[in-house]
Each structure stands twice: as C-alpha cells, then as structure tokens.
Amino acid sequence: MIPRLADETLRRLAKGFPIVALTGPRQSGKTTLARAVFSDKSYVSLENPEEREFAERDPQRFLLRFNDGAILDEVQRCPALLSWLQGLVDERGRMGDFILTGSAQFDLISGMTQSLAGRVGRIELLPLSASELARVDKLPHSLDKMLLCGGYPALFDRAISSDDWFPNYVATYLERDVRQLIAIRDLSQFQRFVKMCAARSGQMLNLAALGADCGISAVTAREWLSVLEASYLVMRLPPYHRNFGKRLVKTPKLYFLDVGLMAWLLGIRDATAIETHASRGALFETFVVSELVKQRFNMGRPADLYFWRDNVGHEVDVLYETPMGLQAMEIKSGHTFASDWPTAVRKWQSLAGNESLRPIIIYGGEGDYERESCHVLGWREL
C-alpha cells in the first residue's frame, strides 16, 4: 500500500467522532486505507449479498455483532443501517466506533445528514496525489506520463497499463453505479456524454450545448452530470462570488477529478501524443486543479476553490481565500516561463487591491523561483 496523506486526518477524526465516513470514487483506495488505519476492527462489505441481506432484514442484530466497532464497506448499499447506527453509537459513547466507506455521495450523504448529524466526521479520498507518489518514488518521470496515468492506485501497485485498466473501470462504473443511481436506457449514449464531458474539462459549463452534442435535453444533461459528480468523477468549479468592479460570469467550470481518466476518454493512449495534443493545456489545468482539491480533501477540508472571470474575458484560473488575503493562481502548460503569463493576474490584482497576495503561476516545467513579482512553481514542486 502506498501511504496516504489522509491517514493522519482519518485518525484525528476518529478521536472526535463516534463515526467516520470515508467517501470517494471507486478504486481510490478507501477500503485499503480504512483497513490499514483500523486494522483491529472487523471488516464487512455490504457488496456481499449475504451480509447485505442480513443488514436489511435485521439491522439491529447485524450491528450488535460488533462489540468493538467495525469497518462497514459500501454502506450506501444499505441506508437503513444509518438510523440504527445513531442509537448504537449514542448508547456506547465511544469515539471512532464505526468506520463507513462509500462511493456514491447522494445516498450516503443524504442518509448521514438525516440520521447521523453531529456524530460523523467525513473525509473524501480521491486517487493518489503527485506528492503521495513522489514520497515513494513512483511519480512519473515526465509530465506527459503523469497526465496519461493519473492517480488511481491500481496503476502504481499492479503490473497493469492505463490502456488496460481504464476501459474496464469505465465499463464497471457504467454497469454498476450508473444503473443504481438513475435509469439509463441507452448506455452507449451515456458513455458518449461522459466523453463529451472529458472534452470540456477546464471549460465553462454549458448544459444546453453539452446536451445538444449528445442528443439529449439540457435537463437530462444536468441529471447525468449530477451522477458523475455523485460518483466523484467530475466537479464544478464555481466563479468567485465577490465583484471587483466588473461584471462577472456566473457559470461554473467543469473539471475531471482524475486527469488519467480524462486522457483515456479523449482517446489518448500514449504519452508521446500528449505533447502535441490539442487538449494538452486542458489536461494540465485539470491535473493542477485536481491536485489542489486532493490537498484540501486529504486535510479534511472542503475544496473552497474558485475561478474569476469578468465579462470582457479577463480570467484567473484558481482563486482561494486565506487568512492573509486572496490567493490567485494561473496555470500554464508551457515548459518555459513567458513574459505574458502574469497579465491576467495583474489585471485581477489591480481590481482586488490590498486584498491580493503575490500571485502563483503553476507551469509545465520544473523549478521554484520568483519572476515578475510572481511565485513560479513547476508541476513537480506543486
């Protein structure tokens, strides 16, 4: 197992909450991490038909088997358990009693909100970050290889290529998770929709245009996109909510949460093809945004990332609030610093004034230095 940065957060939450929920996409390492951190606890997968039937038929007796608590895997498969867990953990009064994992946000989060409010600490686990790979010397040697592979653990702890793993992952996801969440009559149409979303990663989200390209309505496109979000495959990056003297766009941007999956859906099968691919900039931007989200999720924090764009096209790729002020971040896939890169953040700084911190530019080269009043970081240093 590759050590995860979320390990410390998981242990911290277990000291303050009777239940800890570990959510994230399928195959991101949730079960592996939970079993490694809480190796003394019993483990039950509710994907097991016998266990699930027992939990549905008699949830009270099912839970009373675990005097020392347990890891309940894929708990969204039996949402009735959550209300019974409430009474049990209240009676016991023990912290870190039960560890729940799940890969479908809607069912699990709605159940926790209704039944376990105040009793559950939640952490979201995405695929491996670049820093986690670097710590065990498994970070790909080139940026293009990183963009091709992404961060799913199976690609780094098994002898399997991304070209073999991703098609099976997508097929399994379509067959299992999608059909559990919504009734889709034409899976091939949904698969086309997923690929069209990949082609739009890093762009403003236009549901009407997206639906039209896939032969579906904007309403259906919104519903299907919600399924991808619920399964932790994509996210919407909202525009920053404060106005700095200009009219701002109010439409979110769409990003995949794993750049390797995005690359595979775009039909990229070889790292050498990425160097000249039309979507290289979007791939790199997706990689950086997903890395920033992983950093926050691993600390148990919400993403709280935004972008800024005014009505005449000035744009800052990422914006986030800090105790010291607002941090602007530009993302550039080029290998060599260009003098026009700070233009957008300078425009934003002129509007933000004293609230703005020194801008950060993340680029496709390597290094950590200052240039033109900006902090410049290479992709490895991120």
- 138-163 pLDDT, tens digit each: 999 999 999 999 999 999 999 999 99
Residue 106 pLDDT more than 60? no
Residue 114 pLDDT more than 70? no
Any idea which architecture 130-279 has in CATH? Answer: Orthogonal Bundle (1.10)
What is the predicted pLDDT for the residue at 247? Answer: 67
What is the predicted pLDDT for the residue at 174? Answer: 72
- The count of residues in the chain is 382
**pLDDT tens, position by position, 160-192:** 999 999 999 998 887 777 777 777 777 888 889
**pLDDT tens, position by position, 44-78:** 999 999 999 999 999 999 999 999 999 999 888 88
Give the residues across from 360 on adjacent strands: 329, 375
Residue 155: half-sphere exposure toward Cβ, Cα within 13 Å: 28
What is the predicted pLDDT for the residue at 110? Answer: 60
Residue 202 pLDDT more than 80? yes
Helix axes 80-92, 105-115, angle to 10 degrees: 40
Strands 374-378 and 368-371: antiparallel
**pLDDT tens, position by position, 327-351:** 999 999 999 999 999 998 988 888 8
Any idea which architecture 6-124 has in CATH? Answer: 3-Layer(aba) Sandwich (3.40)
Residue 119 pLDDT more than 90? no
Give the CA dihedral 75, 77, 79, 82, nearest 10 degrees.
-20
Judge whether 6-124 and 130-279 match in fold.
no
**pLDDT tens, position by position, 224-239:** 999 899 889 999 999 9
Domain boundaries, the chain: 6-124, 130-279
What is d(CA 277, CA 108) in angstroms, rounded to the nearest whole number? 39
Percent of all residues in the chain with a pLDDT value above 90, rounded to a whole number: 74
3-state secondary structure the chain: CCCCCHHHHHHHHHHHCCEEEEECCCCCCHHHHHHHHCCCCEEEECCCHHHHHHHHHCHHHHHHCCCCCEEEECHHHCCHHHHHHHHHHHHHCCCCCEEEEECCHHHHHHHHHHHCCCCEEEEECCCCCHHHHHHCCCCCCCHHHHHHHCCCCHHHHCCCCHHHHHHHHHHHHHHHHHHHHCCCCCHHHHHHHHHHHHHCCCEECCHHHHHHHHCCCHHHHHHHHHHHHHCCCEEEECECCCCCCCCECCCCEEEECCHHHHHHHCCCCCHHHHCCCCCHHHHHHHHHHHHHHHHHHHCCCCCCCEEEEECCCCEEEEEEEECCEEEEEEEECCCCCCCCCCHHHHHHHHHHHHHECCCEEEECCCCEEEECCEEEEECCCC
Q: Which residue bears the tokens 């033109």?
A: 372
